[in-house]
Homo-oligomer: A and B are copies of this chain.
Amino acid sequence: MQKKTVLVLKIGGSVLDDPSTLKTCLAQFALLPQAKLLVHGGGSIATNIGKQMGIKPQYHNGRRLTDAPTLDLITMVYAGLLNKQVVAKLQGLGSNAIGFTGADGNMLVAKKRPATPIDFGFVGDVSDEAVNITLLRSLLESGYTPVMAPVTHDGHGQLLNTNADSIAQAFAVGLQQFYDVTLIYGFEKKGVLLNKDDEESFIPKLNMVQYNKMIAEGSITDGMIPKLTNAFAAASKGIGRVIIGNALALGDILNGSSGTTIDSNA
């Protein structure tokens, strides 16, 4: 029997920070007829509100630490403001969205990252097995569109800040047993670009050999590397399709005319 399709879309700061970009993305997403779920990250709004509240970002080697006030801030802004605004907007667009953190319905349990060698604070790492697939499937089958904030829990009362890319990956892996899964990491560019200043230079398909070559040549740098590392990790777990592409071109990505498909076979 052919499996039903499901789309897992992850969007991050570049889409969330600008209201008109977010609106366009959600309007496209709401129109897609297949079962679907959205995982959103944070955005600069948490930093701005943190500033107003006197919460100073703490870093270790450029990576942000989640102390107790920062966890509260993230829970307020990501699980509260952003998640509920996205849910209400999708509802207004006719999509029966329902917002979650990992704590809600025990949707996703995480393990607090060990405090050594570096104590990142209240940060949780997820495994693909930690998804409440029963709940997720039941919602998808009932026509709901889950909208997941990058906050999980440890199952013992503690909320944890969790990377949205990893959450999207865990959901996609969990669902592939039952669905033909397409995982889209949506951002502001058409895909992986050969020339970062030319949108039309996007590569339709990228395998690991090409990827490593591009890193060696310096044509993939900075923010793209963790994005792609995550995408390759997801693709290697047998997810139907993993695509990096423009969150404002969802239709084109799904019909294959935009975005970079990650090929884990080579």
**Residues of A59-87 contacting chain B, CB below 8 A:** 72, 75-81, 83-85, 87
Which of B99, B105, B151, B159 contacts A103, CB < 8 Å? B99
Interface pair A89/B157, CB less than 8 Å apart: yes
Which one of A48-56, A166-174, A176-184, A232-240 is at the interface?
A: A48-56
Interface pair B53/A88, CB less than 8 Å apart: no
A213 to B60, CA, bound (A): 66
A158 within 8 Å of B (CB atoms): yes
Which of B75, B77, B84 contacts A151, CB < 8 Å? B84
Chain B residue nearest to A109 in the complex (CB): B91
Interface size for chain A: under 10, 10 to 19, 20 to 34, or 35 or more residues?
35 or more
Q: Which residues of B lie under 8 Å from residue A54 when comparing CB positions?
A: 52
Count of this chain's copies in the oligomeric assembly: 2
A4 within 8 Å of B (CB atoms): no
Interface pair B88/A96, CB less than 8 Å apart: no
Q: Which residues of B lie under 8 Å from residue A98 when comparing CB positions?
A: 104-105
A156 within 8 Å of B (CB atoms): yes
Interface pair A84/B88, CB less than 8 Å apart: no
Interface pair A101/B87, CB less than 8 Å apart: yes
Interface pair B103/A91, CB less than 8 Å apart: yes
A158 to B87, CA, bound (A): 10
Which of B53, B79, B91, B144 contacts A84, CB < 8 Å? B79
A54 to B48, CA, bound (A): 13
A23 to chain B, nearest CB (A): 9
Which of B79, B80, B92 contacts A156, CB < 8 Å? B92
Interface pair B92/A97, CB less than 8 Å apart: no
A93 to B101, CA, bound (A): 17
Interface pair A158/B49, CB less than 8 Å apart: no
Which of B79, B89, B96, B155 contacts A105, CB < 8 Å? B96
Q: Which residues of B lie under 8 Å from residue A72 when comparing CB positions?
A: 81
Q: Indicate the member of A80, A99, A155, A158 with the most B CB atoms within 10 Å.
A: A80
Q: Which residues of B lie under 8 Å from residue A159 when comparing CB positions?
A: 84-85, 88
A142 to chain B, nearest CB (A): 8
Q: Which residues of B lie under 8 Å from residue A103 when comparing CB positions?
A: 84, 87-88, 91, 97, 99
4 shortest A-B CB distances, which residue pairs?
Answer: A80-B80, A92-B157, A76-B76, A98-B105
Name A residues whose Cβ lies closer than 8 Å to a Cβ of B: 49, 52-54, 72, 75-81, 83-85, 87-89, 91-93, 96-99, 101, 103-106, 138, 142, 144, 151, 153, 155-159
Q: Can you list 7 residue pairs at the A/B interface with Cβ under 8 Å?
A: A72-B81, A77-B80, A78-B80, A87-B103, A87-B153, A96-B105, A99-B104
